[in-house]
Homo-oligomer: A and B are copies of this chain.
Amino acid sequence: MKKTLLAAIFGVIPALTLAHGVLAEQPIGIVIHGGAGTINKAQMSASQQQAYETALTAAIEQGYAVLQQGGSSLDAVTRAVIVLEDSPLFNAGKGAVYTFDESHELDASIMQGQDRNAGAVAGVTTIKNPILLARAVMEQSEHVMLAGTGAEAFADTLKLVRVPNNYYNTEFRYDALKRAKQALSPQPHQAKMPFDPAWRMGTVGAVAIDKQGNLAAATSTGGMTAKRYGRIGDAPVIGAGNFADNSSCAVSATGHGEYFIRYQVASDICARAKYQGKTAAVAAAEVISELATVGGTGGVIVVDPAGNLSWAFNTEGMYRAMLGSKTPLKVEIFNDKTAD
């Protein structure tokens, strides 16, 4: 009773103290996404839908198993993102889209909430799992962000699985590139042309909270179909496509990267939670809704320090799943949640 009384006097209830003074167990949980965008239910076959749901389920279960075994949220998001990177279904790792020059350039980032340490790579071409290189940047370098051939040179100093660039080749992504190039052909150069929203669907990500109450976020992508000019989207930009801070929330984003950078989507959600006292879920819904009003499409997955798992998106669908000690498994694709 004394603890409850003190809490009442000070106007707060310590997050992990139950009303009768017993310390509750720290909730654990993980949320993942496999990209948001124009996901047309009518055009998706039952077997396609099943394939996506199977992959999402594998990723969320492997990530959650790490947490259940007492592993860190950093390990959990790394594990889940590796599963998604290794699947050809998602625009990250194996399933990365093609650049204009018919190759693949991948971006990834990772961040942990206890000390806001972070790592990111942009434009890497031979790393089987870019999320592991991002993590190495965080853990084994003095830097946060490495790009291009320099990032590959750093990878040369590490024991990471390397692949030839054609490892990422898939027929359906190549077809997507051909369609994109056809649409771009009348333009003087692509940098001036608004992209078809369908070309930027993709990105995978995970956010988690572990038994120590630490938050982490990871994001990985192949970027935008037919991208040129060394374009960097939001995925490797801390604060835009990725953010984790134990004092507010962890976020991984997917969508039209340029808007996510300009509107600082990931860190703005956490700033509203921290400075306005909103729940992270409410802040995420607000930010994604406001983003739609300026033309930015996409979505986010979110976890807060109390272990609340949520997502928000302003597109037709977002490949997504969540699972936590206080949250039953959800695997969803469309806006109307019929993939439950």
Interface residues of A (CB under 8 A from B): 111, 115-118, 122-123, 140-151, 153-154, 157, 188-189, 191-195, 228-233, 237-240, 243, 257-258, 261-264, 267-268, 271-272, 275-276, 294
Given contacts A141-B192, A143-B258, A191-B141, A230 and B148 within 8 Å (CB-CB):
yes
- Inter-chain contact A229/B189, CB cutoff 8 Å: no
- Inter-chain contact A142/B261, CB cutoff 8 Å: no
- Inter-chain contact B232/A122, CB cutoff 8 Å: yes
Residues in B whose Cβ lies below 8 Å from that of A118: 261-262
| CA A257 to CA B193, docked complex, whole Å | 32
Residues in B whose Cβ lies below 8 Å from that of A192: 140-142
Residues in B whose Cβ lies below 8 Å from that of A188: 157
| CA A215 to CA B261, docked complex, whole Å | 18
Oligomeric state, in number of copies?
A: 2
* Secondary structure type dominating chain A contacts: mixed
Measured CB to CB, the closest approach of chain B to A205, in angstroms, equals 18
Residues in B whose Cβ lies below 8 Å from that of A243: 264
- Inter-chain contact A264/B262, CB cutoff 8 Å: no
Measured CB to CB, the closest approach of chain B to A211, in angstroms, equals 24
- Inter-chain contact A230/B262, CB cutoff 8 Å: no
Q: List 12 A-B contacts (CB under 8 A).
A: A118-B262, A122-B122, A142-B192, A145-B233, A145-B237, A146-B231, A147-B147, A147-B148, A148-B148, A148-B149, A150-B229, A238-B261
| CA A275 to CA B287, docked complex, whole Å | 13
- Inter-chain contact B275/A146, CB cutoff 8 Å: no
Measured CB to CB, the closest approach of chain B to A124, in angstroms, equals 9
Residues in B whose Cβ lies below 8 Å from that of A231: 143, 145-147, 150
| CA A228 to CA B149, docked complex, whole Å | 10
Measured CB to CB, the closest approach of chain B to A93, in angstroms, equals 20
| CA A233 to CA B120, docked complex, whole Å | 11
Residue of B nearest to A157 (CB): B189
Measured CB to CB, the closest approach of chain B to A274, in angstroms, equals 8
- Inter-chain contact A157/B262, CB cutoff 8 Å: no
- Inter-chain contact A141/B238, CB cutoff 8 Å: no
- Inter-chain contact B145/A261, CB cutoff 8 Å: yes
